[in-house]
Structure 1
């Protein structure tokens, strides 16, 4: 969903679609795509082989030191799948911990299991779920009150389940959010800043959500954090 190349060579995906719309607003009618291996993106940007990277290059302090990132575009955050209407009112793993009757399903040994346990959910109320389909079925059958996975994974399961009685809570409050941004060459901050102005307008108007959410991404997750926070994260 980040970036895809069609047979005819046209690049699509959430990141290029956002960038294409922003550059159009900046008066750039034609954006030429250059395909690169993941590890060659930053060196290629620094060498001037392309002007911007929009391909799921997640922000980390060492990358923030090497490139000029825009504000967050695509994020993967934690999500919870619950019954429609969120009957127990879950917004965080702490909410599950406080409800002494609540159970939450998560992959064994995964991030979500650790986050739930660290939030104070007792071991016997964190149910190990072997796979996504099992998690959905257990929730539908009432054997768990919530099922937690990253946003992209949960949205994919919901799409396949096609069950109107399910609801996604995302991002889970207090849980880590990992985001990419459009990466510009150091020294091109003026272009980056112009990009950010249009990105902010799109986030406010809802146009941003219309572009990325069909791909399974959460606009709310991207709007819940900032470049400064992500670049400072340990």
Structure 2
């Protein structure tokens, strides 16, 4: 009961405060395949290294599985997504693949050929499960199933806080793009990839505001554009 209440509170925080709701513009899943009556919500807590399968109506936890998540330099995509593909894939994917519609790279929930990695930060961003658990999850969810990858109120509460460099990808990059776009510096559609256009925006912002530094996006830069741990 306490766990269910805890998850409900986190879901409420996500729906009310996370700016990632704007990511919905990137709903790339096949609408023709989407189930109109998804029974479940997948909730992944990157801090607890756990995946919970929630009843979409009652929000009760129906299943709970340990997982491996992305390494610090290849973070899992924190935010609100949907299942965009399903496939039977052997090898390192352990037989079962559930793809996500994150816009900046290919991510999925899948089995693994390295079960010893479960319970750690070990992947290139995907969510790894024990193969029998991945098989069970695969059988229970359909296209369009909501997937929430959470670290609490924002990605700043996760283990993925880092200095952001050229070619980095992730939720943190996406948020910097959104902030600089609102300030008039980033002119493209946010995509979560630190490319040349973002580098120019960062450098122009530093120049206009007399903020010392390079194209590296560090804590001082984040604070300057209004991204704090407590907002």
> TM-score with structure 1 length normalisation?
0.22
Higher helix share: 1
Higher relative contact order (CA 8 A, sep 6+): 1
Q: Rg bigger for which structure?
A: 1
